[in-house]
A and B are shown apart, each in its own frame.
Chain A
Amino acid sequence: QKEVEQNSGPLSVPEGAIASLNCTYSDRGSQSFFWYRQYSGKSPELIMFIYSNGDKEDGRFTAQLNKASQYVSLLIRDSQPSDSATYLCANAGNNRKLIWGLGTSLAVNP
């Protein structure tokens, strides 16, 4: 069974701090990895995707991928209360369907 594991949280950080969200996956053949944000009662929203080992930065968000360790993370710099949401990690299997983690709940405290 191919799986994606995330700490359910809640992860609580003060406003302005760096929030670090982590994800491990079991499918060594995965080539693409995604972070989605989901506010309560809403549908997921794509934040970032990453295909290559290393870091990928987009504004306040940085995704980090380490295929050897089967690990992908998301850093949110200068966290804002509006970043409070559930963050879903996903990777694509050979059949191109996304395998989802259960999500990490993030709370940014003013």
Chain B
Amino acid sequence: GAVVSQHPSWVICKSGTSVKIECRSLDFQATTMFWYRQFPKQSLMLMATSNEGSKATYEQGVEKDKFLINHASLTLSTLTVTSAHPEDSSFYICSARGVGWADTQYFGPGTRLTVL
């Protein structure tokens, strides 16, 4: 149980384009999903928290107009990186927390974004 998928697993795009990443909970309903970014050799950095049907809450320093998050259902959240630039190249990972799971988060496999 507690399987989270992400799609795509990797993406290469040109500077200035937008990229959408999907995060799905496959065998449970995720009331809350989290989006993280991780640069090489660094720890996880929380970008935003999204609750189903609500606007996402962004961490300080994360541009909400650049990183658009939608959590339209209890099994799907999407992150869109708008007008991507090379400095946005990173490993983007989502996690999900189910109903009644206290604070436990299960992670998707991550999406490696490379912006040329």
Contact = CB atoms under 8 A, between A and B. Distances in A.
A100 B110 contact: no
Contacts of B108: 43
Interface residues of A, number: 20
A42 B109 contact: yes
Contact of A49 (B32, B34, B46, B104): B104
A34 B86 CA distance: 33
Interface string A40-75: 001111100101000000000000000000000000
A88 B44 contact: yes
A2 interface: no
A45 B110 CA distance: 11
Contact of A43 (B42, B49, B103, B110): B110
**Most chain-A CB neighbours within 10 Å: which of B93, B102, B103, B105?**
B103
A51 B97 CA distance: 17
A92 interface: yes
Given A43-B108, A45-B107, A32 B102 contact: yes
A102 B105 contact: no
Nearest to B108: A43
Interface in B11-41: 32, 34
Interface in B57-116: 93, 97, 102-110
Contacts of B43: 88, 100-103
29 contacts: A32-B102, A32-B104, A34-B105, A42-B109, A42-B110, A43-B107, A43-B108, A43-B109, A43-B110, A44-B44, A45-B107, A46-B104, A46-B105, A46-B106, A46-B107, A49-B102, A49-B104, A51-B102, A88-B43, A92-B102, A92-B103, A96-B32, A96-B97, A97-B46, A97-B49, A98-B46, A100-B43, A100-B44, A102-B43
Interface of A: 31-32, 34, 36, 42-46, 49, 51, 88, 92, 96-98, 100-103
